[in-house]
């Protein structure tokens, strides 16, 4: 096997002695996934320098189960591709596991469901893109309790760095071994022209140093937000909410490299605290697609309205949303001040402890901690931040009260499981009866009165506002 030194297990931890965590920090396309897949292959087959004997129980953890399958298992550099035909494990997608002929098993888990790691036990684990997990701390903690088999439980973490509290703790842990890789080091395995293109655009920038060089970039001292402040604002789930909106910052173009469409959902509770529920922002979307995405987010959280900036598209913004669903209320807002001036009052709410994040929103928080008087350090538009500002402003800073009226019912955001006929006669979140037709369905819903929800249909452990 050909490998760079940064793709092979270190001899010892940074504090001396055997390592318990191997942290591989690398740029995009630097070969992190290949390194992780080769490590798991070496463990399962008992191949030096990875293991002296086969390791029987291995956890594969990514942000979503789709990431486990599409990247870690079936990806170009994933586990199925790094095995020769005669040694390739059997992939059982319905059971989310790989099984080798010698009995070794690698089980897939999603960081969206930390509780799924309560119970299983392992000898080793591969954690991919830890820095972008929304529920990183809870998932990581649950995994540590399960790493209890064998004579040397250990884990490999492959990620592009972001300055999260968890990543900082791992970097400071004496039992961690650290490897670093730059995108340029893997140039032979990248598409022709890719490296030149990204270096020309991002080379030397803060974003380029993070995404290409694998550096842990500290916060801008002049930014409106800081990582510690956002960590302090973190919560696992939102409480019952009085009002929910979807903020939309439409892009001027859908061409490659154009600005993203900012899509952020947030709600406000009875005490006036704003809770950010989801960031569904995406780039390269045509108007019909971003409008459908906005309406889907509106329905997902049974929001009260969409708040859309119309500076770029005017009446077209409302028209394209109406084409998707004319029943969705749309509030048009027009920017009359600069982005920084609009963001300052929202940042002040964060400083006062009046805004919380129900989970982690890595890309959004990256923009927040890089946004200062001169904008983002890469010169691009802060589309996610703009959508957040519109949503929070509408909820907590607008002329209208955040509530629907005194005594307005609070609503819990959650997931309900329904089976055929199970909710007949039970009011749906937007009126009418829940038909409960077909197979088991998990529905994101706003429950006007959670106390009326039958005991056999409790809110999912994913909780309120898990998004």
Q: Which helix (H) or strand (E) holds 333?
A: strand 330-333
The secondary structure of residue 438, as a DSSP letter, is: S
Which residues lie across from 330 on neighbouring strands? 306
Interatomic CA distance for residues 324 and 354, integer angstroms: 33
DSSP letter for each residue of 50-90: T-SS---EEEEEESSHHHIIIIIISSTTSHHHHS-TTTPPE
HEC-encoded secondary structure of 260-307: EEEEEEEEECCCCCEEEEEECCEECCCHHHHHHHHHHHHHHCCCCEEE
Q: What is the DSSP letter of 459?
A: P
- Indicate whether 283 and 382 sit together in one domain: yes
pLDDT in tens, 191-231: 878 877 877 777 767 677 777 777 777 778 889 999 889 98
CB of 106 closer than 8 Å to CB of 89:
yes
pLDDT < 70 stretches in the chain: 1, 204, 206, 253-258, 312-315, 399-467
How many Å apart are CA 230 and CA 256, to the nearest integer? 31
Q: Is the residue at 218 inside a domain?
A: no
Cβ 72 vs Cβ 62: under 8 Å: yes
Specify whether 339 is located in the same domain as 382.
Answer: yes
Q: Are residues 66 and 199 in the same domain?
A: yes
Pair 182, 76 in one domain: yes
60 is a domain residue: yes
Residue 254 DSSP symbol:
-
Q: Which pLDDT belongs to residue 114?
A: 95
Cα–chain center distance at 283: 16
* Residue 286 resides in a domain: yes
φ, ψ at 39 (rounded to 5°):
-65, -45
DSSP readout, 383-425?
A: HHHHHHHHHHIIIIISSS-SSSSTTPPPBEEEEEEE-TTTTTT
- Judgement on whether residues 423 and 310 belong to the same structural domain of the protein: no
The neighbouring-strand residues paired with 147 are 122
Output the pLDDT for position 253.
65
The two tokens of residue 444 are 């994101």
Q: Are 373 and 283 in the same domain?
A: yes
142 vs 455: CA distance, rounded Å: 27
- 290 inside domain: yes
Query: Is 222 a member of any domain?
Result: no
Instruction: Give how far Cα 87 sits from Cα of 72, 83, 424, Å.
Output: 17, 6, 51
- How far, in Å, CA of 388 to CA of 382, rounded? 10
SS3 state at 380: coil
* Domain end call among 164, 180, 211: 211
Enumerate the β-bridge partners of residue 97. 92, 107
Query: For the chain, how many structural domains are there in total?
Result: 3
* Strand (E) or helix (H) holding 127: strand 124-128
Query: Could you tell me if 33 and 106 lie in one domain?
Result: yes
Beta-carbon contacts of 29 under 8 Å, excluding residues fewer than 6 positions away, are 183, 186, 189, 190, 194
Do 390 and 416 sit in the same domain of this protein?
no
Count CB-CB contacts under 10 A for residue 349: 18
Are 26 and 156 in the same domain? Answer: yes
The reply to whether 422 and 390 lie within a common domain is no
CATH of the domain at 273: 3.30.420.240
Contact status, residue 415 vs residue 300, Cβ threshold 8 Å: no
Domain membership flag for residue 461: no
CB-CB contact of 391 with 346 (8 Å) = no
Q: Please report whether residue 445 resides in a domain.
A: yes
Whether residue 301 sits in one domain with residue 436: no
Cα 59 to Cα 454: distance, rounded to the nearest angstrom: 35
Distance CA 165, CA 161 (A): 11
Tell me the C-alpha distance between 340 and 345, whole Å. Answer: 9
Tell me: do 379 and 421 sit in the same domain.
Answer: no
**What range does the domain containing 440 cover?**
412-452
Q: d(Cα 466, Cα 265) in Å, to the nearest integer?
A: 12
Question: pTM for this one?
Answer: 0.62
Residue after which a domain boundary falls, among 211, 244, 266:
211
* 49 prior amide bond cis, ω within 30: yes
* Cα(424)–Cα(440) distance, integer angstroms: 14
d(CA 280, CA 233): 20
pLDDT value of residue 409 = 46
Is the Cβ–Cβ distance between 211 and 160 less than 8 Å? yes
C-alpha distances out from residue 128 to 59, 61, 137, 239, 329, Å:
11, 6, 14, 30, 40
Q: Is 172 a member of any domain?
A: yes
Task: Please state, in angstroms and rounded to a whole number, the distance separating the CA atoms of residues 135 and 115.
Answer: 11
* Whole-angstrom Cα Rg for the chain: 23
Judge whether 33 and 186 are in contact, CB under 8 Å: no
């Amino acid at each position: 096997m050909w490998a760079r030194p940064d793709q092979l297990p270190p001899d010892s931890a940074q504090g001396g002695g055997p390592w318990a965590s191997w942290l591989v920090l690398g740029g995009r396309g630097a070969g992190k996934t290949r390194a992780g897949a080769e490590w798991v292959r070496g463990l399962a087959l008992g191949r030096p320098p990875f293991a002296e004997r086969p390791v029987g129980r291995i956890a594969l953890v990514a942000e979503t189960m789709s990431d486990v399958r599409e990247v870690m298992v079936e990806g170009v550099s994933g586990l199925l591709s790094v095995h020769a035909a005669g040694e390739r494990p059997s992939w059982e997608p319905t059971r989310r596991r790989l099984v080798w002929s010698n009995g070794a098993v690698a089980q897939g888990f999603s960081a969206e469901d930390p509780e799924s790691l309560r119970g299983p036990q392992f000898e080793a684990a591969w954690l991919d893109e830890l820095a972008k997990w929304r529920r990183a701390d809870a998932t990581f903690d649950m995994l540590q309790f399960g790493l209890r088999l064998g004579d040397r439980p250990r884990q490999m973490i492959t990620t592009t760095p972001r300055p999260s509290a968890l990543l900082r703790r791992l970097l400071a842990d004496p039992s961690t071994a650290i490897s670093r890789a730059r995108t340029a080091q893997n140039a032979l395995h990248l598409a022709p022209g890719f490296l030149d293109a990204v270096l020309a655009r991002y080379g030397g920038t803060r974003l380029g140093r993070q995404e290409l060089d694998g550096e842990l970039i500290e916060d801008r001292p002049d930014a409106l937000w800081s990582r510690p402040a956002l960590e302090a604002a973190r919560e696992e789930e939102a409480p019952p909410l009085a009002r929910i909106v979807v903020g939309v910052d439409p892009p001027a173009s859908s061409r490659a490299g154009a600005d993203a469409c900012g899509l952020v959902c947030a709600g406000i509770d009875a005490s006036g605290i704003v809770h950010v529920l989801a960031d569904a922002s995406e780039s390269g979307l045509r108007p019909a697609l971003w409008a459908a995405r906005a309406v889907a987010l509106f329905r997902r959280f049974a929001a009260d309205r969409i708040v859309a900036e119309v500076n770029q598209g005017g009446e077209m913004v409302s028209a394209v949303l109406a084409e998707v669903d004319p029943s969705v209320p749309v509030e048009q807002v027009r920017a009359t001040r600069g982005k920084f001036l609009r963001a300052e009052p929202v940042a002040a709410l964060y400083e006062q402890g009046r805004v919380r994040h129900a989970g982690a929103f890595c890309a959004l928080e990256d923009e927040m901690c890089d946004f200062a008087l001169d904008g983002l350090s890469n010169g691009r538009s802060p589309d996610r931040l703009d959508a957040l500002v519109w949503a929070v402003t509408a909820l907590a800073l607008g002329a209208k009260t955040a509530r629907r009226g005194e005594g307005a019912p609070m609503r819990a955001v959650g997931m309900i499981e329904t089976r055929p006929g199970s909710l007949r006669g039970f009011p749906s979140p937007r009126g009418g009866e829940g038909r409960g037709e077909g197979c088991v369905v998990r529905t994101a819903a706003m429950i006007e009165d959670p106390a009326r929800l039958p005991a056999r249909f409790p809110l999912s452990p994913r909780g309120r506002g898990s998004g």
